Amino acid sequence: MSRKNQTLGEFIIENQSSFKYTSGELSRLINSIRLAAKVVNHEVNKAGLVDIIGAAGDTNIQGEDQQKLDVYANEKFIQTLTNRNIVCGIASEEEDDFISINSQDENNQNKYVVLIDPLDGSSNIDVNVSVGTIFSIYRRVTPVGTPVTIDDFLQKGNQQVAAGYVVYGTSTMLVYTTGDGVNGFTLNPALGTLYLSHPNMQFPEDGNIYSINEGNYNHFPQGVKDYLKYCQKEEDNRPYTSRYIGSLVSDFHRNMIKGGIYIYPKSSKNAAGKLRLLYECNPMAYIAEQANGKASDGFTRILDIEPTELHQRVPFFCGSTNMVEKAEEFMQNAE
């Protein structure tokens, strides 16, 4: 259920009962992410002032160290989720190992673990281009009241109970799913309130945008090279348009609204591509599927891949269903 002028807070409460586990714990968790996102948003918006208020590594006027934004975002998300005692474990792209939160305490009945890419597209910060945050939520598989283990984090993407992203763009949006479609909320910065602006988001079945770092063309597998030639051919509604921001969140967000495909393939330089299965590909794949799109590694559905390590990388093809299927066809034919 959604209505005009609905805030994220209202939406979470009103939709809590449609979620199959209705303890309210997941709602509190999404609320914490909402809070951390606003704090990070505030800091991201000040990034352009860095030469005035001091660069990373400097000490600011209060004697505090200035931090790089990805470190800052990482700390804020971890702090918010830890302080509010909402989850039993966190894994972050910025941390070598997972973090266990009071999970050996028998009073801690928290059932959820969160995996995050606190700042995605971080190379874009210095040039005032959109960045994002990606999150992925699972129920732990080990018993409550015991320390979390690696098994709680190495779950297949199809076990996710919620996933979402924040895009810090021309406006800031939080987009998420709990397995019942995808909804987008836009921040009104004057009020600090997120309003439902994009109910029930859907990838168009087809599209005409392809997003890939074509500078790596010579290193791509033959199937990707062939697909790119197909995208560029003067035929039917092609050539397609090429758009690549270099922030997965922003490229995905545009493609979901307009129709398109994002590809980060393996290459002769990176045998498994660049993107991380647990922090980037699984959450985006879950959102894509919930929005009628598709995500694969070129051959296999992303959400069915069995993770073997926390920072595992996989090739990523994600977007409008017909486009992803076409790209897969080229991958298979080139085998």
Residue with tokens 């995905």: 252
Joined tokens for residue 181: 């479609």
Which pairs count as long-range contacts for 52-59, CB under 8 Å and 24+ apart, including other chains? Answer: none
From 248, 284, 285, 324, residue interacting with ligand AHG (rule: CB under 6 A): 248
Task: Please give the backbone phi and psi of residue 298, each rounded to the nearest 5 degrees, phi first.
Answer: 110, -25
Joined tokens for residue 38: 């606003």
Residue 74 in the binding site for ligand AHG (CB under 6 A): no
Site string for ligand AHG, 87-106 (x = CB under 6 A): ------x-------------
Residue 120 in the binding site for Mn ion (CB under 5 A): yes
Residue 278 DSSP one-character state: I
CB-nearer residue toward Mn ion: 93 or 152 = 93
Task: Please give the backbone phi and psi of residue 98, each rounded to the nearest 5 degrees, phi first.
Answer: -75, 160
Report the partner that residue 274 touches, choosing among Mn ion, ligand AHG, none (CB closer than 5 to 8 A by kind): ligand AHG
Q: How far is the CB of 209 from Mn ion (least distance, A)?
A: 20
Dihedral, 65, 71, 77, 79 alpha carbons, nearest 10: -40
Q: How far is the CB of 75 from ligand AHG (least distance, A)?
A: 15
Which one of 1-9, 24-32, 113-121, 226-234 is the stretch in contact with ligand AHG (CB under 6 A)?
Answer: 113-121
Strands 260-264 and 241-242: unpaired
From 67, 179, 246, 292, residue interacting with ligand AHG (rule: CB under 6 A): 246
Residue 274 in the binding site for ligand AHG (CB under 6 A): yes
Which one of 22-30, 31-39, 245-253, 301-309 is the stretch in contact with ligand AHG (CB under 6 A)?
Answer: 245-253
Evaluate whether 137 touches 100 at the Cβ level (below 8 Å).
Answer: no
Q: How far is the CB of 247 from ligand AHG (least distance, A)?
A: 5
